[in-house]
Amino acid sequence: MHITAMKKTAPGIIESDISGTIEGIALCGGAGVSFPVILSVRGEILHNHSHSNIMQDGDLLVNDSGAESMMHYAADITRTFPVNGKYSLKQKEVYEIVLKAQMDAIEALKPGIMYRDVHLLAARIIADGLKEVGLMKGDMEEAVLQGAHALFFPHGLGHMMGLDVHDMENYGEDLIGYDETVQRSDQFGLAYLRLAKKLEPGFVLTVEPGIYFIPDLINQWKKAKKFENFIEYKNVEKYIGFGGIRIEDDILVTEDGHRVLGRPIPKTVHDVETMCQSL
């Protein structure tokens, strides 16, 4: 599904052409998609299920989609790639930050670690990266503690998966992702973390950091002078229209670490560009 999307996407094509094609692949190979396909050049709109944009040269496409097996086990994978097959310098800079956050977070997965700490590790990498490109400033340890990075990374790092894409959450998100050792935060961003508790062998979960430029949120925070000491608004405003980048994989926690599930799907800038440019 993801490779087909990379190969078929091109400027001038409507998103539904790609989302319909990949949904067809899921139907051909199993029980269909595990959740409604999220495929949009407006990737900054989280859980955006509209597929009506005509994709343009210079756009980034977020493809968050997965198939369900005949036994109803769900997959949930995201790749973000350039519609024209080549990331611009600006897109590449932000992509590399998200990729580092995702790969370092995956590397940290092992039994005994709190998923909340893995989320905070990813948040810190995102904040440090954004400081390097001039979008944040000041002490990034303090910025993450106070939640300033959530302007760009407003959701949780991941969630449990299994016979549903957000496994058993209808039973109660806090009953699944939290326990007596960890309370849900009320801070914007961290509050939306669906899984926070200590990892155990056998857990299957997603790692899905992202960086988004959400025009209304940027304007709202700027107007309220929120975190002016950490956010370089005059530079952030230049990214309005950029969209969003998310990278997501599904991971099994093993006795001694973790294993990324499924066949590898291109993820580095080089591998994604090569796949986008191949027929």
Which residue ranges make up the site for Mn ion (CB under 5 A)?
A: 64, 76, 206, 248
Q: Among 23, 59, 64, 173, indicate the residue that binds ligand GLY (CB under 6 A).
A: 64
Q: Looking at beta carbons, which pairs linking 19-26 to residues 24 or more positions away fall under 8 Å?
A: 19/51, 19/65, 20/51, 22/63, 22/65, 23/65, 25/1, 25/67, 26/1, 26/65, 26/66, 26/67, 26/68
Q: Which is nearer to ligand GLY, 27 or 54 (CB)?
A: 27
Cα end-to-end span (Å), the chain? 14
Q: Which is nearer to ligand GLY, 23 or 64 (CB)?
A: 64
Q: Among 15, 44, 59, 76, indicate the residue that binds ligand GLY (CB under 6 A).
A: 76
3-class SS at 214?
coil
Beginning with the edge strand found earlier in the chain, give each strand of the sheet holding 249-254 in spatial order. Answer: 204-207, 249-254, 257-260
Residue list 100-119, contact with ligand GLY (CB under 6 A): none
Q: Which is nearer to ligand GLY, 49 or 225 (CB)?
A: 49
- Residue 167 sits in the site that holds ligand GLY (CB under 6 A): no
> 115-132 vs 89-107: helix axis angle to the nearest 10?
150
Q: Give min distance, CB of 34 to Mn ion, in A.
A: 9
3-class SS at 98?
helix
- Residue 173 sits in the site that holds ligand GLY (CB under 6 A): no
Site string for ligand GLY, 241-260 (x = CB under 6 A): -------x------------
- What residues line the site for ligand GLY (CB under 6 A)? 35, 38, 64, 76, 159, 208, 248
